Structure 1
Amino acid sequence: MSQYNLERIFKPHRVAVVGASEKTGSIGNALMKNLIEGGFSQTLLPVNPKYQAVHGLAAVKSIGDLSPGVDLAIIATPIHTVPDIVKECVKNKIAGAIVISAGGKEVGEAGREVEEQIRATAYAGGLRIVGPNCLGIIRPGGKLNASFAAGMPDAGDLAFVSQSGAICTAILDLAFKEHIGFSHFVSIGSMLDVDFGDLIDYLGNDPSAKSILLYVESLTNFRKFMSAARSVSRIKPIIVLKAGRSEAGAEAAASHTGAMAGEDAVYDAAFKRAGIVRVDTIQDLFDCAELMAKQPRPRGPRLAIVTNGGGPGVMATDAMARADLAPAPLDPVTLQRLDAFLPPFWSRSNPIDILGDASPERFRQTLEVCCDAKDSDGVCVILTPQALTDPVLVAEALIDIMKGRRYPVFACWMGGKSIEAAVTILNKAGIPTYDTPERAIQAFLYMVEYARNMEDVLEIPPKLTREISVDSEKAGQLLARASAKQFIPEADARNVLSAYGLPVIRTETAATEDDASRLAREMGYPLVMKLLSPDISHKTEAGGIRLDLRSDEDVREAFTGIVESARRYQADARIEGVTLQPLFANPDYEILLGAKRDVHFGPVILFGMGGIFTEVLKDRALGLPPLNRLLARHMMQQTRAWTLLQGYRNRPPADMEQLEEMIVRLSQLLIDFPQIAELDMNPVMIKDGKAVAVDARILVSEPERPYLHLVISPYPAEDESHLVTEEGTRVLVRPVRPEDAPLFRKFSEVLSPESIYYRFFSHVKELSPQMLARFTQIDYDREIALVALADDSEGEQMLGVARIIGDPDGKEGEFAVMVGDPWHGKGIGSNLLEKCLVIAKKRGFQRVHGIVLRENKSMRVLGKKLGFQVKAGDDAGEFELVISLASFSEDRADFR
C-alpha cells in the first residue's frame, strides 16, 4: 500500500478518536488528554455514542457521522468492534487508523481471524493501519501525542520505533530523565499493515529524523525491509535491538552448513548487509539513543579520553581493546599544548590523566585542546568525585567549551549522590552521560561501527580478472533429476558445482570391492576412499573414510571396513558403495564453503574453517546473495580463518581472488536455482595457494519462483540488450553494476561543464566517492539504471547512462539521462531512456517524471519524442517532463 497516507497519519489536520471518553483510567480518556495537553492545534473529533461532548469538544456517535476529509482515526474500542469501525473509515475515505485495541493474533486463532477481517477491509479501501495492540504514535515537533503514554517528550531528531509497548514506556521514562528528544516515537504493535520497512522508508525521507532506533521482535516483509534499510542507512544511522538471540530458533540440519547457519546468525548477516548497527542489550539501546539524540556522529574510531583518575582511564582503554581498538595517539602539537598547562606528572599519553586535583579550568583547557586536535574523532570525559574537584563546576566548564562546537563529546560522571546535580546539568545541555566508562565506550563503538559501514559502502568492488561463465542448463538438468527434500547423488552434486566453475577434485564411484580395486589401479595411488550413502551425512562419525591407500590390498580392506562400519552405525542406511579420490596430502588449509536457504531471508552463504574443526571452532561468517568480490572478501574477513589464509609460518597464502571467485560463483548458483535448500563443500582443501572441493552435498526442495526466493534483488541479466546507432555503431546496453565505478569516473572526464550542469543543476568538478557509490550500487527492486557501452572498443567505454529511481511503492519514478559529449545526437540517450520506460512499465510503474532546466532544449525535445508532457516546473527556470506509462507503448523501443 502507498507511502503517502503515512504523511497524513504523522501530520494530520483532522483526527477522530473512536472510543473517546472522560472516564478516569480509560484509554479513550488518556488519548484525549494527551492530544489536548500535548498542544495539538488542529481539529480533534471525539467519537462515542455515549457522549454529546468529550473534554469540551462536541462528540459524534460514529465515524459515519463525520464529514469527509479525516486524516487519522485512533481506535480504542474492543477488538471485536474494530472490523465494523474500519469499514466505516474506508467508506468515509479516512487516510489512516491507529488501532490501539489488543486481542488480535496474540491471543490465538479467534484474534487472528479478527485481524484478517481488518486487513482485508483496510487493504481494499486503501486505509493504512498502525497496530493493532499498540501504544500509538507521538510526534513532538507537531505537538501530536496520539498515544496513551504519559507525557510528551521533547522535540528532537531521533526516531524510535518499537514492537513492544513496554519498551516504549521504558524509553520514554529514560527520555524524560535524560532530556532525550524525538522526531517520531512509534509503537508499531502487531504490524497488521504498517511495518518496519514502511516506517524506515518514511523516516528516511523525513528530514526531521536524523537517526532511527528500532526494537524488533519479528519482521514481516523481509525483502521490503532489506530494500528500505539498504537505502536509508546510507544517509542516516539505523540502530536495532533484535530480541531472541537464543539457539531455540536454530534447529540443526542434515549438513554442517544447516547446523551452523542459525536463525540469529542470519539476522546478524542481514543487518550487516543492510548497513544496520545491531546492539545487544536494552542498556545498549538506551545508551545509543542518548548518544545519537545529543551528539554528532563520530567520523572514525580515534577517541581521546580525559580523566582525573587513572583507574577509570584504564577501564575505558580495556573496553576499546575488546573491540581491537586503542585510544588515539597524541601528536607532538597536542602534547606540546597540553604540557603548557598540565602538571609535570600528567600521563603524557592517551588516556589523558590530568590528575586527581584537576580544577574546572584544567578540565576546560584540556577539552579545548582535544576538540582542536586533528588526531581524534571524539572525546570521552571521565570524572570521579575527589576532594578538590567540584562535579558541577566541571560540568559547567564542559558545557561552556562546547558552545558553538559540533564535535562528539560524552561524559562519564562516576559516583552517586554527589554527582547527581552535575549529571542533570549535562543532560539539559545536550551532553550524553554514562555512569561507567564501559557504557560510554560501548555507545561510542556502535557509532564507529556505523561509520565503518559507510566506509564499506563507498569502497569500489574490484572486478574479477576471469569472466564468470556457467553451464546453467547442465546444472538444471542434474538438479531436476532429484526428488524434493532429498540429497542429490554425490556425483551429481560435484557435476553441478563443476558446471558453475567451482573446482572439484576427481572422484570415481565403486559399487563393489572389485570395482574399487579396478578403479584404484587406473587412478593410481595414494587414494582416499569414502562411504557413498544418501542416508548418512557425516561420514567420519560412521567410520566411512579411509586415507592414504597405497595398494590393492589397502583398497579391498578399506572397502570392507567402511561398509561394515556404516552398517553398525545405521543398520537401515542405503549403502551404494564408495567413492575414490586422489589423496590430497598435507593441505595447507581446510575451509568450509556452503549454503542454506533460510525461511525468511532466502539463501545464505557460509564460509569458515573446514574439515573436522568446522563444528568445534564454529569459525564462520554468513553472507546473503547476490555477492561480488568485495562482499565476498568482507565476509571472509569476519573469520579467524582469514588471518591464516594470508600465510602462516612456512605455509603459503591462499589465492584470495580464487576464493572470492568461488563465493561469487556459488552466489550465482543459488540465484539461478531456488530449489537448492542446502549445499556443502566441506572440506575445501588449499594446497600451494589453490583451492579444490573434496566433498560436496546438495539438498533440494520444492522449487520457488526465480528471484522471489532472494531477499536482495540480483543483477537483472534479462535487461541486457544491444542497439545499433544511426551511424552503425554497436552498443551494449546493460544494467549498472557496483564494479562500474571506474567507468563512471572515466565517463565524467568527457563531459563538458554544460552537460554536467544540465544533469546536476550545479557545477560539479569531480564525482565524489559518495556520488560514485550512489550511481553504481543499485537496488534493482527500486531503481532501473542502464549504461550504454561501446561494443567494439578495446576495453569497456561508457557512452551514456539513464535511470529511473522509483518511490518505495514502485508506482512512480524520477528519470535522469546523461550522454557523453562525443556521442551526442546519435540516439543513445533516447534509446536508453526508452528502454528504461519499457522496464518500468513491466514492473508496474504508473508514472515517470523528471525536472529539466529551461535551457536544456535537447532534453525537452527528447522527452516530447518519447511521449512526455512538458509542464512548467515549480521554479521559473525549470520544466517538468511527465509520462503516464498506461499510454506508453513498448513497441516503440528500437533495440536489435
Structure 2
Amino acid sequence: MSQKNLHRLFNPRHIAVIGASAQPGKIGNTLLKNLAAAGFSGTLLPVNPKYSTINGLTCLPSVSDLEMGVDLAIIATPINSVVDIVSECVERKVGSAIIVSTGGKEVGEEGREIENTILQVARRGHLRIVGPNCMGIIRPGVHLNASFATEMPELGNMAFVSQSGAICSAILDLALKEHIGFSHFVSIGSMLDVNMGDMIDFLGNDPQVKSILLYMESLSNFRKFMSAARSVSRIKPIIVLKSGRSAAGARASSSHTGAMAGEDAVYDAAFKRAGIVRVDTIEELFDCAELMAKQPLPRGSRLAILTNSGGPGVMATDTLAHFGHEPAILDTATIHDLDTFLPSFWSRSNPIDILGDATPERFGKALEICLGSKNIDGILVILTPQVMTKPIAVAKMVVTAIKGHRHPIFACWMGGKAIWQSLQILNSAGIPTYETPERAVRAFLYMVEYSRGLELLLEIPPKRIPFMAFDQAKAQKLITAIPTGGVASEMDSNAILAAYGFPVMSTKVATTEAKAIDIARELGYPLVMKLSSPDITYKTDVGGVQLDLRCDTDVSEAYSHIMASANRHQPDARLAGVMIQPYVARPDYEILLGARRDANFGPIILFGMGGIYTEVLHDRALGLPPMNRLLARRLMQETKAFTLLQGYRNRPNADLEQLEEMITRLSQLLIDFPEIAELDMNPVLIKDGNAIVANSRILISPVRVASPLHLVIAPYPDEDESHIISTGGRRILVRPVKPEDAHLIVDLFNVLSPKTIYHRFFGHIKELQPEMLVRFTQIDYDREVALVAMDEDADTDTILGVARIIGDADGKTGEFAVLVGDAWQGEGIGAKLLGNCLKVAEKQGFKTVFGIALQENRGMSALGRKLGFEIQHSSNAGEYELTIQLGGNQTVSND
C-alpha cells in the first residue's frame, strides 16, 4: 500500500472524528478537544447521529455524509461497529484512519476475526490504518494531536513509535518534565496495517527526523522491517527498546544450537545486522537518542572526562570499564599543554580533574586543549557545585569553546536548583545533559555502538572470492528421503554437509562387534567409537562415546560398553550400532557451527565454543543468512573463541579463511533448504589450523514457504543471471550486483571518460567515495534491481556496464540509471542491461520506472526510445525525463 497515504495520515488537512461526543470524559470528546486545543488549522468534522453540533462544530450523522477525500478518520466507536465504518470510509475515499477502539486480537479469536475483516475492507480502498487499540498520533510541528493524550510535547527532531499505550503515557509525562521534544509521537497499537517497517520507511524519508525511537513488544512482517531498517539506519540512528529479554521467552529445542539461540538472542542478532542500537531501559532510550540527535558521531570510544571533582570522574571511569572500555590516554603534548595553566597537583591523567576551585576560564581552556587532541573521540564535562563554582558561567564557557569543533560533547551537571539555569543554556546550545556520570557514559557508548555498526554496514568485503561448488541435487535427494519431522542419521547428515563442501570426518557404521573390528582394521588406529541412535541426541550423556581406541581389544570393549550403557540409560531407544571415525588426538580447538529455524526470522546461524562445554561456557554469536565472508568474519569476532582461534600461547592459529568459507557454505545450505529446522556441527575439530566436522545432526520439519521467502533478508537472486551477446559479438554474463563487486566498480569508474562521468553523475567527480561504493554494491534485492555486465572472454573479472532501478518504499515506483564504459559503448550493452532490469522489476511488482538525463546526453534518449520509454522535458532546465509503465499489457523489449 502507498506511502502517499501515510503522508495524509501525518499531514492531514481534513479530519473526521467518528464517535465524537459532547459528553466530557468520553474518548470521542477528548479527541475532538485535543485536536482543537493543539491549534489544528485544518477542517474538523465530528460524526455522530446523536448530535447536530459539538463544541460549535456541525456534527454529521454518518460517515456517508462526509465530503469525498477526507485525509484522516479517527474512529472511537466499539470494535463491532468498525467494519461498517471502515467500509463507508473506503466508499468516501478517506485516506487514512486511526482506530483507538479496543477488543481486537488482544481479546481472542473473535477479535482477531474482526481485525482481519477490517483489513480486507480497508485494502480495497488503500485506506491506511494505525491501530486498533492505540492512543493515536501527535505531531507538534503541525499542531496535530490526534490522540487522547491531553498534553502536547515540545517540538524536537526525535520520532517515537510505541506498541504500548501505557508506555506512551509514561514517556509523554517524562518528556514534559524533561523538556524532551518530538517530531512524531506514534502509538501504533496492534499494527493491523501500519507496522514498524512502514514507520521506519516513512520517518527515514522525513528530513525533520534525526533519530527514530521504537518501543517494541513484537513484530509483524519481519522481512519488511529488516529491509526498512537496513536502509534507514545508514542515514539516521534507530534505537529500540524491546521488552521480553527473559529466558522464559526462549523456545524449547532438542539441539545445542536451539538451546543457545533463544528468541531474544535472535532479536539481538537481527538488530545488529540491521544497524539498530538496542537499549535496556526507557531512560537509556532517551539519553541515547538525545545525544545522537544533537551531537556528531564519534570516531571511536576514546572518551575524555573533564571534571572539577574526582569522585564523579571515577564513577564515569568505572562505567567505561564495566562495558569493556578505558578512558582516552592523554598524549604527552596534551599533558604538557594542561600543565601550563592547571595547578601542579591536577590529576595529570584521564579523568582530567581540574580541581574544585576551577574557574569558568579553567574549564574553557582545558576543554579547548582536549578538543585539539587527536587521541580523543568525545568529551564528557562533569560539574559539581562547589563553593567557588559558577555553573552558569561554566556553561557559557563550554558553549563558546565547542564552536567549530566536531567532537561529540556532552555534560553531567550534578545537583538541583543551583544548576537549573546552566542546564537550560547547555541544552539550548545542543549539548545533551545528564544527571549522573553513569547515564552520560552509557549514552556515549551506545553512540559508539551505532557508529561502529554504521562503519560495519559501510565496510567493503575483500576482493578475492574463491569459487564454491555445491551439489544441490545430491543434498536434495538425501533431505527428501528423511521423514518429515525426523532426524537424519549422522551418516546422512555428514553426506548432506559433504555435498555442500564441508570437510567431514570419514565415518563408517558397524552393527556388530565383529564388523566394528573389521572397520577398525580398515581405517587404522587410533579411532573414536560413537553410538548410532535416532532417539539419543547427546551421546556423551549416556556413555555413548569412546575415544582413543588403539587395538582390536579396545574396539571390542568399547562396543560392549556403549551398547550396555545406552540400554541402561534409555532402554526403549532404537540402537542402530556404532559409528567409527579416526581419532584426532588433542585438537587445538573445538567449535560449534550450527543453525536453527526461528518462527519469525527464519534460519539463524550459530558459531561458538564447541565440545562438551558448549552450553556451560555459552560463548556464541548468532547471524542471519545470507552471509558472505565479511559477515562470517564479524560473526566469529563476536565470540571469545575468536581470540583463541587467532593463536594462543603454544597453540597455532586456526585457518580463519576456512572457517569463513564454512559459515558461508552453511548460509547457502540454509538458503537452499528451508526444511532444515535444526543443524549441529559439534564439535568441529581444529588441528594444526585445519577444521573438520567430527559430529553432525540435522532435523527436518515442514515449512510453509519456498526458498527464498523463508528468509528475512533477500539473498542473491541466481535466477536473474543470464547470458547475452553484444552487437560486437562479445559474450557477456549479466548478473545481479554483489557486495564483493566494489573493487570491480572502481576499475570500471577508472576507465570512464570525463564526459561519461558527467552524464551519469550530473557533475565531475574524481573518485568513488566508500559510501558511494557501498550504496552501489550492497543491494537490498527486495527493493532494488542492480545488474552488471561481465565480459566472459576477459582474462580477469571485468565489469563492462551497470544498470539499476532503485525502488521507493512501496516497491511500485523506481528510478533507473545505466552506465557503460567508453570502450564498450555502441555494442547495445546498455540497452540489454536496462532491458533485463525492467524485466526483473516487472516480476517484482514495479509499476512505473523513470529516469532523468541531461539534454546533451543523446545516447540516453536513443536508448529510452528503443526500450519504449516516454520522453518529456523535465521541470529542471537542461534535463529530460524518461518514463515507462510496467505490468498489464506493457511488454519490455531489449531487442
TM-score range, shorter chain: over 0.9
- Count of equivalent residues: 894
Q: Distance in 1 between matches of 2:827 and 2:229?
A: 39
Aligned positions of 1:231-270 closer than 5 A: 231-270=231-270
Q: Distance in 1 between matches of 2:366 and 2:24?
A: 55
Task: Find the counterpart in structure 2 of residue 92 from structure 1.
Answer: 92
Task: Find the counterpart in structure 1 of residue 149 from structure 2.
Answer: 149
Contact 2:868 2:892 in 1 (8 A): no
Q: Structure 1, residues 746-793: CA drift from partner, whole Å, max 9, x if none? A: 111011111111111121111000000000000011111000111111
The letter for the 1-side match of 2:766 is K
The letter for the 2-side match of 1:720 is E
Distance 1:279 1:554, change over 3 A: same
SS in 2 for 1:361: helix
Task: Find the counterpart in structure 2 of residue 124 from structure 1.
Answer: 124
Q: Structure 1, residues 372-416: CA drift from partner, whole Å, max 9, x if none? A: 444333221111222221333333433444567665221112234
User: Structure 2 unaligned runs (5+)?
Assistant: none
Q: Distance in 2 between matches of 1:76 and 1:756?
A: 56
Task: Report the Cα offset of residue 891 of structure 1.
Answer: 7.3
Task: Report the Cα offset of residue 51 of structure 1.
Answer: 2.3
Task: Find the counterpart in structure 1 of residue 645 from structure 2.
Answer: 645
Q: Structure 1, residues 196-227: CA drift from partner, whole Å, max 9, x if none? A: 00000111111111111100000000000000
The letter for the 2-side match of 1:138 is I
Worse-superposed segment, 294-303 or 189-198:
294-303
Task: Report the Cα offset of residue 428 of structure 1.
Answer: 4.7
The letter for the 1-side match of 2:785 is I
Task: Find the counterpart in structure 2 of residue 595 from structure 1.
Answer: 595
Task: Find the counterpart in structure 1 of residue 398 from structure 2.
Answer: 398
Q: Structure 1, residues 166-219: CA drift from partner, whole Å, max 9, x if none? A: 221222222222222211111100101000000001111111111111000000
Q: Distance in 1 between matches of 2:488 and 2:846?
A: 41
Distance 1:402 1:148, change over 3 A: farther
Q: Structure 1, residues 259-284: CA drift from partner, whole Å, max 9, x if none? A: 11110000000000001111112221
SS in 1 for 2:686: strand
Aligned positions of 1:272-311 closer than 5 A: 272-311=272-311
User: Structure 1 unaligned runs (5+)?
Assistant: none
Aligned positions of 1:80-479 closer than 5 A: 80-402=80-402, 407-463=407-463, 465-479=465-479
Q: Distance in 1 between matches of 2:891 and 2:505?
A: 49
SS in 2 for 1:892: coil
Q: Structure 1, residues 54-98: CA drift from partner, whole Å, max 9, x if none? A: 222222112111111200011122222211211111110000001
User: Are 1:525 and 2:525 an aligned pair?
Assistant: yes
Q: Distance in 1 between matches of 2:594 and 2:514?
A: 34
Distance 1:335 1:529, change over 3 A: same
Contact 2:241 2:285 in 1 (8 A): yes
Q: Distance in 2 between matches of 1:151 and 1:101?
A: 21
SS in 2 for 1:486: coil
Task: Find the counterpart in structure 2 of residue 808 from structure 1.
Answer: 809
Distance 1:413 1:706, change over 3 A: same
The letter for the 1-side match of 2:411 is A
Contact 2:742 2:774 in 1 (8 A): yes
Contact 1:180 1:293 in 2 (8 A): no
Task: Report the Cα offset of residue 365 of structure 1.
Answer: 2.6
SS in 2 for 1:186: strand
Worse-superposed segment, 152-161 or 503-512:
152-161
Contact 1:179 1:428 in 2 (8 A): no
Aligned positions of 1:48-87 closer than 5 A: 48-87=48-87
Distance 1:198 1:891, change over 3 A: closer
Task: Report the Cα offset of residue 295 of structure 1.
Answer: 3.1
Task: Find the counterpart in structure 2 of residue 722 from structure 1.
Answer: 723
Task: Find the counterpart in structure 1 of residue 498 from structure 2.
Answer: 498
Task: Report the Cα offset of residue 460 of structure 1.
Answer: 1.2
User: Are 1:765 and 2:766 an aligned pair?
Assistant: yes
Q: Distance in 1 between matches of 2:463 and 2:292?
A: 37
The letter for the 2-side match of 1:150 is T
Worse-superposed segment, 372-381 or 345-354:
372-381
Distance 1:638 1:661, change over 3 A: same
Task: Report the Cα offset of residue 892 of structure 1.
Answer: 3.0
Worse-superposed segment, 165-174 or 803-812:
165-174
Note the aligned Cα RMSD (angstroms): 1.6
Q: Structure 1, residues 618-677: CA drift from partner, whole Å, max 9, x if none? A: 000001000000000000000000000000111100000000000000100010111111
SS in 2 for 1:157: strand
Q: Distance in 2 between matches of 1:702 and 1:541?
A: 29
SS in 2 for 1:658: helix
Contact 2:463 2:743 in 1 (8 A): no
Q: Distance in 1 between matches of 2:150 and 2:291?
A: 24
Worse-superposed segment, 703-712 or 387-396:
387-396
Task: Find the counterpart in structure 1 of residue 875 from structure 2.
Answer: 874
Worse-superposed segment, 332-341 or 826-835:
332-341
Contact 1:867 1:888 in 2 (8 A): no
Q: Distance in 1 between matches of 2:51 and 2:332?
A: 75
Aligned positions of 1:563-712 closer than 5 A: 563-703=563-703, 704-712=705-713
Task: Report the Cα offset of residue 369 of structure 1.
Answer: 3.2
Task: Report the Cα offset of residue 510 of structure 1.
Answer: 0.5
Contact 1:156 1:293 in 2 (8 A): no
User: Are 1:831 and 2:835 an aligned pair?
Assistant: no
Q: Distance in 2 between matches of 1:159 and 1:891?
A: 41
Task: Report the Cα offset of residue 463 of structure 1.
Answer: 4.5
Task: Find the counterpart in structure 1 of residue 756 from structure 2.
Answer: 755
Task: Report the Cα offset of residue 124 of structure 1.
Answer: 2.0
SS in 2 for 1:229: helix
Q: Structure 1, residues 274-297: CA drift from partner, whole Å, max 9, x if none? A: 011111122211312332343343
The letter for the 2-side match of 1:240 is V
Task: Find the counterpart in structure 1 of residue 732 from structure 2.
Answer: 731
Task: Report the Cα offset of residue 801 of structure 1.
Answer: 0.2
Task: Report the Cα offset of residue 722 of structure 1.
Answer: 1.1
Contact 2:3 2:809 in 1 (8 A): yes
Q: Structure 1, residues 821-872: CA drift from partner, whole Å, max 9, x if none? A: 1111111100000011111111121111111111111101100100000012
Q: Distance in 2 between matches of 1:876 and 1:448?
A: 44
Task: Report the Cα offset of residue 139 of structure 1.
Answer: 1.3
SS in 2 for 1:566: helix
Task: Report the Cα offset of residue 732 of structure 1.
Answer: 1.1
Task: Report the Cα offset of residue 49 of structure 1.
Answer: 2.0
Task: Find the counterpart in structure 2 of residue 885 from structure 1.
Answer: 886
Contact 2:313 2:351 in 1 (8 A): yes
The letter for the 1-side match of 2:666 is L
Contact 2:82 2:118 in 1 (8 A): yes
Q: Structure 1, residues 333-370: CA drift from partner, whole Å, max 9, x if none? A: 44344333322222222221110111222223323333
Task: Find the counterpart in structure 2 of residue 791 from structure 1.
Answer: 792
SS in 1 for 2:884: strand
Task: Find the counterpart in structure 1 of residue 744 from structure 2.
Answer: 743
User: Are 1:776 and 2:777 an aligned pair?
Assistant: yes
Q: Distance in 2 between matches of 1:370 and 1:100?
A: 52
SS in 2 for 1:540: helix
The letter for the 1-side match of 2:37 is E
Task: Report the Cα offset of residue 42 of structure 1.
Answer: 1.5
Q: Structure 1, residues 860-896: CA drift from partner, whole Å, max 9, x if none? A: 11001000000121212211100011367657345xx
Contact 1:179 1:430 in 2 (8 A): no
Task: Give the % identical residues.
Answer: 65
Aligned positions of 1:476-495 closer than 5 A: 476-495=476-495
Task: Report the Cα offset of residue 464 of structure 1.
Answer: 5.1
Contact 2:306 2:352 in 1 (8 A): yes
SS in 1 for 2:541: coil
Q: Distance in 2 between matches of 1:491 and 1:251?
A: 28
Contact 2:734 2:787 in 1 (8 A): yes
SS in 2 for 1:603: strand
Contact 2:306 2:382 in 1 (8 A): yes
The letter for the 1-side match of 2:725 is V
Q: Distance in 1 between matches of 2:29 and 2:429?
A: 34
Q: Structure 1, residues 443-472: CA drift from partner, whole Å, max 9, x if none? A: 111111111011112211125553110100
Distance 1:566 1:463, change over 3 A: farther
